Amino acid sequence: MNIALIAHDEKKQEMVRFSTAYKHVLQKHSIYATGTTGLLITEETNLPIHRFQSGPLGGDQQIGAMVANDEMDMVIFFRDPMTAQPHEPDITALMRLCDVYLIPLATNLAAGEILIRALERGDFQWREVVKQNKKDKEMNI
């Protein structure tokens, strides 16, 4: 499964701790992250992470493009609700795309833990079924 990890500045260390705690789950999947968040997670966990630009420089939009192309299976985005973000329209667009394309989205630690534990149990196998059905339709099977 393809999983995006994103965190606002005030939540980056929380994301690093989360990634460390769930490294045993994350290492079984393909991990994508915005720039600095990905770097911090890699430094702490040694997980291989595909890093995009930082959020304000387009990283949120790059992940959004993967969502729109059905190439992302889950987004864990630790948002800072107490600080205004200069790229708020990009954040809103990413969240909207997750809603449109039915991509599970966690915006805080509590929801992130629910998603990661569900992933660990195998509750996201439905994503593989959706992808296979889409491929079958494209091939007229």
Number of domains in the chain: 1
The catalytic residue among 9, 60, 73, 80 is 60
**CATH no. for residue 24?**
3.40.50.1380
Arithmetic mean of pLDDT over the chain: 93
| Average pLDDT of span 45-61 | 94
Least trusted range by pLDDT, from 68-82, 98-112, 124-138: 124-138
CB contact at 8 A, 51 and 84: no
The verdict on whether 90 is a catalytic residue reads no
Residue 77 bridge partners (DSSP): 6
Give the residue numbers spanning the domain of 68.
2-138
**Global model pTM greater than 0.85:** yes
Strands (E) across the chain are located at 2-7, 30-33, 49-51, 74-78, 105-106
